[in-house]
């Protein structure tokens, strides 16, 4: 009869039980045959008590250990330097921080930053070559590529360091709360900037009307749409940084959204005694003489109202370059019109008031007193 290894007990307790069964069988057979000997069952062998192994502090950056082992296999000299750097450190709870770990983290962070910067520059130069896309579309693609490159660089850095993302569950929850509360405006402006570029309601080069904190309105040209804010430069070279979210939720007056043509209004007043037909012809001539005023649509003159001292007109003229200024065009038209009015004797009125003095007893006494004082002064002189 053959017995395989699988049939035999493989533990200490199983072996003891088997021995006891054999001994009991022999004793029973001996008793049946009238024998006088007895076999005692062997005692069970006690299980050995496992020796406790001291816990080794874990390294938070697994990549540092991998790099150290790889260098140790190739360059023993550098490996000895790494061992000395790794010897300097401290332990917090079950985690050990060494000088070598800190050095690896710094090198990886610098490498990620350099990789992301070079990647964004190369991607930006590639996007600029896509001339078939509009300026807003190229800018949108550049922003999306920038976000993708930075995300890829950060993931590569985490993979090189060997950071266990499952251990960052609590940290990710805290980070989510920070985004929800502390960085809400930042991420809101980021999304708002992407939406502005996607619907192309505001794009670089547009001229929009803005108001400062005092409520004074002015216009400026959009120079740049950034991740957080839009840069707008006015005619006096003042640069306003307006958050993207403000342009999303507030009313914006865009002078060049669908067309770059902007109509200007130049108010003019002439005397009631002037030839109105001649005055209007001179106004049109002055508007057409300005180089920046368009011929199509042509300038026009409207009679606005009969004022207290003048008949008021409004000259309407069109330009296509409002970013070059509006007040300078109005000044050119008025200067030319002044010369034309002087040449053709057209009077530009100014406010005049007539004072009527009614005679009464108090007024006559006042006039007599003034005359007496003037006579006394002349006599003394």
pLDDT on residue 152: 87
Sorted by where each begins, the domain ranges of the chain are 11-46, 62-163, 185-254, 262-343
CA atoms within 13 A on the CB side of 79: 12
pLDDT category, 53, cuts 50, 70, 90?
very low
184-199 and 169-181 helices, crossing angle to 10°: 70
Number of Cβ atoms within 10 Å of the Cβ of 325: 16
Pairing of strands 95-98, 239-243: unpaired
Mean pLDDT: which of 160-164, 199-203, 223-227, 335-339 is highest? 335-339
pLDDT category, 197, cuts 50, 70, 90?
confident
pLDDT on residue 26: 53
Q: How confident is the model over 273-294, as pLDDT tens digits?
A: 899 999 999 999 999 999 999 9
- Could you tell me what percent of the chain has a pLDDT over 90? 17
pLDDT on residue 252: 82
Task: Catalogue the E-assigned strands of the chain.
Answer: 89-92, 95-98, 207-211, 217-225, 229-234, 239-243, 253-254, 262-270, 300-306, 311-319
Higher pLDDT residue, 65 or 224? Answer: 224
- Name which CATH class applies to 262-343: alpha beta
Contact 58, 76 (CB under 8 A): no
Q: Which of 40, 41, 47 is nearest to 16 (CA)?
A: 41
Contact 292, 319 (CB under 8 A): yes
Say whether pLDDT at 93 is over 70. no
3.90.1150.10, 2.30.30.140, 1.10.10.10, 3.40.50.720: CATH of 185-254: 2.30.30.140
User: How many angstroms separate the CA atoms of 124 and 122, rounded?
Assistant: 5
Residue 356 tokens read as 């009527």
Higher pLDDT residue, 22 or 285? Answer: 285
Number of Cβ atoms within 10 Å of the Cβ of 178: 11
pLDDT category, 94, cuts 50, 70, 90?
low
Q: How confident is the model over 144-186, as pLDDT tens digits?
A: 888 888 888 888 887 777 766 665 666 667 666 766 676 677 7
User: How many angstroms separate the CA atoms of 255 and 71, rounded?
Assistant: 64
User: How many angstroms separate the CA atoms of 240 and 220, rounded?
Assistant: 9
pLDDT on residue 233: 87
Q: How confident is the model over 251-271, as pLDDT tens digits?
A: 888 888 888 888 989 999 999
Output Rg (C-alpha) for the chain, integer angstroms.
48
User: How many angstroms separate the CA atoms of 235 and 209, rounded?
Assistant: 12
pLDDT on residue 299: 93
- Residue 48 phi, psi (nearest 5): -70, 140
User: How many angstroms separate the CA atoms of 9 and 18, rounded?
Assistant: 8
Contact 335, 328 (CB under 8 A): no
pLDDT category, 1, cuts 50, 70, 90?
very low
- The pTM score is 0.51
Cβ neighbours of residue 29 closer than 8 Å, sequence gap 6 or more = none
Q: What residues form DSSP beta bridges with 96? A: 91
- Could you tell me what percent of the chain has a pLDDT over 70? 65
Task: Catalogue the E-assigned strands of 143-274.
Answer: 207-211, 217-225, 229-234, 239-243, 253-254, 262-270
Say whether pLDDT at 96 is over 70. no
């Amino acid at each position: 009869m053959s017995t395989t290894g699988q049939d035999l007990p493989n533990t200490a307790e199983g072996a003891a039980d088997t021995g006891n069964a054999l001994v009991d069988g022999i004793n029973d057979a001996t008793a049946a045959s009238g024998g006088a000997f007895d076999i005692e069952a062997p005692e069970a062998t006690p299980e050995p008590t496992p020796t406790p192994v001291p816990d080794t502090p874990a390294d938070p950056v697994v990549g540092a250990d991998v790099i150290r082992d790889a260098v140790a296999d190739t360059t023993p000299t550098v490996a000895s330097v790494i061992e000395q750097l790794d010897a300097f450190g401290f332990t917090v709870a079950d985690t050990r921080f060494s000088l070598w770990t800190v050095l690896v983290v710094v090198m990886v962070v610098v490498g990620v930053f350099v990789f992301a910067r070079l990647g964004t520059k190369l991607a930006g130069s590639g996007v600029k070559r896509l001339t078939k896309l509009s300026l807003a579309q190229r800018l949108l693609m550049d922003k999306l590529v920038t976000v993708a490159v930075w995300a890829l660089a950060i993931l590569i850095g985490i993979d090189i360091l060997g950071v266990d993302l499952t251990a960052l569950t609590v940290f990710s929850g805290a980070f989510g709360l920070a985004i929800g509360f502390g960085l809400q405006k930042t991420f809101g402006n980021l999304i708002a900037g992407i939406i502005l570029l996607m619907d192309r309601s505001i794009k670089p080069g547009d001229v929009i009307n803005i108001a400062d904190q005092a409520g004074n309105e002015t216009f400026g040209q959009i120079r740049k749409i950034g991740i957080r804010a839009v840069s707008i430069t006015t005619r006096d070279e003042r640069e306003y940084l307006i958050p993207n979210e403000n342009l999303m939720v507030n009313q914006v007056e865009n002078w060049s959204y669908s067309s770059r043509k902007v109509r200007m209004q130049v108010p003019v007043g002439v005397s009631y005694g002037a030839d109105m037909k001649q005055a209007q012809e001179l106004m049109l001539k002055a508007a057409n003489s300005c180089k920046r005023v368009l011929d199509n649509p042509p300038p026009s003159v409207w009679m606005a109202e009969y004022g207290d001292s003048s008949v008021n007109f409004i000259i309407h003229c069109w330009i296509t370059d409002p970013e070059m200024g509006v007040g300078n065009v109005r000044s050119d038209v008025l200067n030319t019109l002044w010369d034309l009015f002087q040449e053709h004797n057209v009077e530009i009125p100014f406010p005049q008031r007539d004072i009527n003095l009614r005679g009464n007893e108090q007024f006559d006494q006042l006039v007599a007193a003034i005359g007496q004082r003037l006579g006394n002064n002349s006599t003394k002189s």
